[in-house]
Amino acid sequence: MYHFGGQAPAEARAPIAQPVPMGLRRIEMPQASRTDRIVGVTGSEVAYIKGARWVSPADDLYTEALENAFAARAQRVRLVGPRELTTAERSLDVDMRAFEARYDAPGAAPSAVITARAQILSREDRSVVAERTFSVSRPASENRVSAIVQAFEAATADINAQIVDWADQNAG
């Protein structure tokens, strides 16, 4: 079984001086990606990659990876967990549109493709404060599960860095 998304930061970093608390809503994934199986797409054909499984459902792993990215990288935003007493005036909504290994041809080395629409929402009036669609594609070095997992690792790190930086810029 495989994991992606890196680990939680090992060292405590300096706290954010004046953090902007932001809630993280449940991340939505395409139906086929809500499992522990790795999705492969060739043209219009969608299938799970034989023998390739995540250690947990992909949406759980992705949520953990995004939380870790905020903890390690954010300059203004501090994600507020559901069990915290702090209320957040803003929330981050991430709707994953693609989370798949995309093949140009059968048997070729695929690319890990991740596309997500992110919105920052105002709790007060439920309006959209900012919205952006992010898309990354990272090629696997070969058509082997370990190489595909490395491509997902790189794609996840890239898209999460973009989302964290964007959230920092639009936190209000």
Give the Cα separation of 79 and 24 in Å (integer): 7
Q: Give the single-character DSSP code of 12.
A: P
Query: Looking at the chain, how many residues does it have?
Result: 172
pLDDT tens string 113-123: 999 999 999 98
Q: pLDDT > 70: what percent of the chain?
A: 94
Average pLDDT over residues 112-139: 96
Angle in degrees, 0-180, between the axes of helices 145-169 and 58-73, rounded to the nearest 10: 50
Q: Which amino acid appears at position 51 of this protein?
A: G
Q: Domains, the chain, ranges and CATH?
A: 20-169 (3.40.50.10610)
Q: Can you give the pLDDT at residue 3? A: 82
Helix (H, G, I), strand (E, B) or coil at 43: coil
pLDDT tens string 40-89: 999 999 999 999 999 999 999 999 999 999 999 999 999 997 777 778 89
pTM across the whole model:
0.92
Give the Cα separation of 92 and 147 in Å (integer): 31
Q: Give the single-character DSSP code of 32.
A: G
Contact 5, 163 (CB under 8 A): no
